[in-house]
Amino acid sequence: MPFNRSQYATVTRELIADQIFRPTQRFFRKEASSSLLLLGAAIAALIWANSQIGDTYHRFWHTEVSVVFGNYHVSKTLVHWINDGFMALFFFTVGLEIKREILVGELASPRKALFPAISAVGGMVVPGLIYLAFNFGSDYSSGWGIPMATDIAFALGALALFGRKLPVGLRVFLAAFAIADDLGAVFIIALFYTKEIVWQYIVICIFLVLLLAVANFLWIRWALLYALLGLAIWFFILGSGVHPTVAGIIVSLFIPARGRYDTDRFLQNVNQLMDKFQCEDQSCGYSILLNQEHLYAVHALEMACHDVETPLQRLLHTLHPWVAFLILPVFALSNSGLTFNEINLSEAALHSVSLGVVFGLVFGKPIGIGLFSYLAVKFGAASLPEGVGWTHILGAAMLGGIGFTMSLFISDLSFSFPQILDYSKMAILAGSVLSAIVGITFLGLVCVRNQG
């Protein structure tokens, strides 16, 4: 039975709401579900590294992989290609989500953005200071950035265990301060974990970024152009000495966030195209194979959907499943393989690096996030999200101590000595697990039970 025009409009609006205006829900749903795969990859890495064939773990991930183009030659281990290359795509998707949130999401208004942003600052400053309290003046002080990060996937995965028993505003708050946390981590990597800068490459990067800005200003929507410029920026940042993952954030900020036309014009076009589907016997069946006009209408609908969807949304929708379900698990698999029989556990547990990381994650995160959140509300700079109380904030702050992915990443940048690197990774795993247990237990016993 043919639809009338009002039904077309209703169906079309539902499709738009589902496919275009709910990207945040889909983004964080993928983050939460990918946490199980991420956890499985970390456990697999630990089992592999401590099995009878554990020596193959390190040999495999430290296999040299070279790229040769004429006289140009780059050779890195497999794990370095993952950390420098694949993780740039992770930062690219994070940057896309940050830009979307700033434009139309939870960070769109200053007052909305201020509360999680201030909370994130506290969640970075206090853990960093706690780490420095244990390692100030030592050779290990460079690891102060390790306990500053929050793993979005694991934190949201832990919160997802409670389903609808916790207020929606708490999930939004946790997601927002985790995003702000990631952005802060990127700046820290760029400013403090760059050892030597090759300035001629930086100049070339600035020129390429200006080309990105011009392309955006001229409303160029050709994805291949942005991909080629992004790859070139990554290449020159790699040669400049700045960590190449920073390229992911830089390029993401210049991806167009507007389609070729607005939703009103899209609805008008779709309604006109839907009128072409007039069939006898109240059923079109497989008319697409017989009716050329129907085929043209379907192609036009496809182009209309492409033109109304922004390049930012399209890239985020395309890349995020690959990042969440492939890149991050591969990163965990290649970076989590600690060989415990080579570690003196008692010495590792009492080492200043381990103590700084564990105390920073388990205590520094909730203290910093809770304290700065309270000060933001106390001085009127922000207000609590609707339906969210201070016990909710404290529980989310505890989950903020799950610093797995970004903490491992910064750990690799901080230490070159294998033993200290192993200590820091063991502390990250311990601190993240403790934070997850404490946060889940607190939310379950204090928030959910009291609510019931």
Model confidence pLDDT, tens digit, residues 338-362: 888 878 888 989 999 999 999 999 9
**Are both 127 and 14 inside the same structural domain?**
yes
Per-residue pLDDT, 30:
59
Per-residue pLDDT, 2:
47
Per-residue pLDDT, 282:
64
Mean pLDDT within 27-48 = 78
Lowest mean pLDDT among 4-18, 212-226, 350-364, 411-425: 4-18
Q: Which residues of 68-80 are buried (b: 16+ CB within 10 A; e: fewer)?
A: eeeeeeeebeebb
- CA distances to 155, 189, 245, 351 from 150, in Å: 7, 15, 17, 23
Per-residue pLDDT, 87:
85
- Say yes or no to pLDDT of 21 above 90: no
- Phi, psi (5° rounding) for residue 77? -70, 160
Tell the burial category of 253 from Cβ atoms under 10 Å away from its Cβ (0-12, 13-18, 19+): middle
**Are both 47 and 105 inside the same structural domain?**
yes
CA distance 204 to 328: 30
Which pair of structure tokens corresponds to residue 80? 């370095």
Q: Domain total for the chain? A: 2
pLDDT tens figures, 115-147: 888 999 999 999 999 999 999 989 899 999 999
CA distance 108 to 99: 9
Place of tokens 């311990």: 430
Question: What pTM was estimated for this model as a whole?
Answer: 0.77
User: Is the model more confident about 384 or about 400?
Assistant: 400
**Are both 92 and 150 inside the same structural domain?**
yes
Contact 87, 331 (CB under 8 A): yes
Q: Which of 251, 279, 303 is the last residue of a domain?
A: 303
CA distance 183 to 91: 9
**Are both 283 and 182 inside the same structural domain?**
no
**Are both 10 and 141 inside the same structural domain?**
yes
**Are both 186 and 283 inside the same structural domain?**
no
CA distance 188 to 409: 12
pLDDT tens figures, 69-117: 777 777 889 998 898 888 889 888 888 887 887 787 666 777 777 888 8
CA distance 73 to 77: 14
**Are both 326 and 268 inside the same structural domain?**
no
Mean pLDDT within 315-328 = 87
Highest mean pLDDT among 173-182, 272-281, 347-356: 347-356
Annotate 252-282 with DSSP letters as a single string.
HTTS--S-SS-HHHHHHHHHHHHTT---GGG
DSSP one-letter code for 224 = H
**Are both 325 and 383 inside the same structural domain?**
yes
Domain that holds residue 248: 5-193+243-259+309-451
**Are both 339 and 382 inside the same structural domain?**
yes
Annotate 382-433 with DSSP letters as a single string.
--PPTT--HHHHHHHHHHTT--HHHHHHHHHHH--SHHHHHHHHHHHHHHHH
Question: Three-class SS of residue 351?
Answer: coil
Lowest mean pLDDT among 58-62, 303-307, 421-425: 303-307
Lowest mean pLDDT among 212-226, 247-261, 288-302, 322-336: 288-302
Confirm whether 337 is domain-assigned: yes
Per-residue pLDDT, 357:
96
Of 234, 254, 231, 232, the C-alpha closest to 244 is 234
Confirm whether 222 is domain-assigned: no
* Average pLDDT across the chain, whole number: 83
Lowest mean pLDDT among 171-175, 352-356, 424-428: 171-175
Per-residue pLDDT, 224:
86
Contact 27, 176 (CB under 8 A): no
Confirm whether 206 is domain-assigned: no
Per-residue pLDDT, 17:
47
Confirm whether 21 is domain-assigned: yes
Of 382, 380, 313, the C-alpha closest to 101 is 313
Which residues contact residue 260 at a Cβ distance below 8 angstroms, ignoring those fewer than 6 apart?
221, 307, 308
CA distance 388 to 451: 12
Confirm whether 203 is domain-assigned: no
Confirm whether 235 is domain-assigned: no
User: Is the model more confident about 108 or about 181?
Assistant: 181
Confirm whether 57 is domain-assigned: yes
CA distance 143 to 147: 8
User: Is the model more confident about 8 or about 332?
Assistant: 332
- Say yes or no to pLDDT of 413 above 80: yes
Per-residue pLDDT, 386:
78
Residue type, 200: Q
**HSE toward the beta carbon, residue 438, CA cutoff 13 A:** 20
pLDDT tens figures, 2-20: 445 555 455 555 544 444 4
User: Is the model more confident about 349 or about 258?
Assistant: 349
**Are both 95 and 122 inside the same structural domain?**
yes
**Are both 41 and 131 inside the same structural domain?**
yes
CATH number for position 323: 1.20.1530.10
CA distance 65 to 236: 19
User: Is the model more confident about 229 or about 337?
Assistant: 229
At residue 168 the predicted structure's pLDDT band, cuts being 50, 70 and 90, is confident
CA distance 149 to 180: 10
**Are both 294 and 171 inside the same structural domain?**
no
Per-residue pLDDT, 6:
53
Q: Among residues of the chain, what percentage have pLDDT more than 70? A: 88
Per-residue pLDDT, 270:
80
Confirm whether 134 is domain-assigned: yes
**HSE toward the beta carbon, residue 387, CA cutoff 13 A:** 11
